Amino acid sequence: MVEVLIVLLLMHVAIALHELGHYVVYRGYRVPVLGVYLGGPPWVLRWKRKGTEYRLGLIPLFGAVLVREDDAKHLTPPDWVRVYLAGPLASLLAALTGFVLWGVLKGSLLFTLKAFAAVLIFPVLLVGDLFRALFGDLSTVGAIPMFQVTGNVIRQGGLEGSALVWGALNAVLFWFNLLPIPPLDGGQAVYRLFAGRKWVEKVYPYALGFGLAVLFALLEIAVLKDVARLLGR
């Protein structure tokens, strides 16, 4: 149980750092931020400060920074790209920090180099996991297996395991959000870079629908598989 709470905490902090990247760049461009959401509903904390509403939810791996389109009219396409890529960049730096700490705690930077190599090939692993989630073996899909694996790493590795899990969580956030499909950061950055062109405006609604459908399918598969596991016990 303690390991699950640690994983949840690491997830929420990882999301907070990711959204902080977006937030800092928005504020750097003097764009008022309406809301910062960390996690998904049900909301356990809600407060407002200087015109910005903050929400903390129980469901991990969700987050958003909300602004008014009218307040951001002065942003150029490259500015928008910087806004959307600031979140993944924050996640990448957090991942590398976790892997460096892991290597230091292991007493050898060789582990850090191996972790860096794993970050570089992570897209291949991520695509494989997405393919299995949608079309293949579902035995490792869902929150329950994820918490089991990460919990075991933390239980057996202690601080070293926590550093490794932290690095892995942020690596997932980095690469997953770079996928060039909206509403993910990569897709939004591509859209903003080419916004205004007729073919982009025609394609974007379909791309957004496809991206939302994929995310919903992944969530649905994970939830249904977890429910099946619980009912089977």
For 150-204, the pLDDT digits (tens) are 767 777 778 888 888 898 889 888 988 888 888 889 989 988 888 878 777 777 7
For 66-86, letters b (16+ CB in 10 Å) and e give ebeeeebeebeeebbbbbbbb
Short-list 112, 132, 116, 123, CA closest to 172: 123
Q: Which amino acid is at 17?
A: L
Tokens of 28: 């750097």
Whether 19 has a pLDDT exceeding 50, the answer reads: yes
What are the C-alpha distances in Å from 202 to residues 80, 103, 183? 20, 48, 16
Short-list 185, 192, 186, 183, CA closest to 214: 183
Whether 81 has a pLDDT exceeding 50, the answer reads: yes
pLDDT confidence of residue 149: 62
Percent of the chain residues topping a pLDDT of 70: 76
Short-list 145, 144, 168, 114, CA closest to 176: 168
For 33-51, letters b (16+ CB in 10 Å) and e give beebbbbbeeeeeeeeeee
Q: Which residue has the higher pLDDT, 206 or 31?
A: 31
The answer to whether the CB of 115 falls within 8 A of the CB of 105 is no
Most confident segment among 19-28, 56-65, 130-139, 201-210 = 19-28
CA distance 109 to 111: 5
pLDDT confidence of residue 228: 47
Is the pTM higher than 0.75? The answer reads yes
Average pLDDT over residues 115-119: 73
Whether 230 has a pLDDT exceeding 80, the answer reads: no
Least confident of 60-74, 98-112, 143-157: 143-157
φ, ψ of residue 40 to 5 degrees: the values are: -115, 165
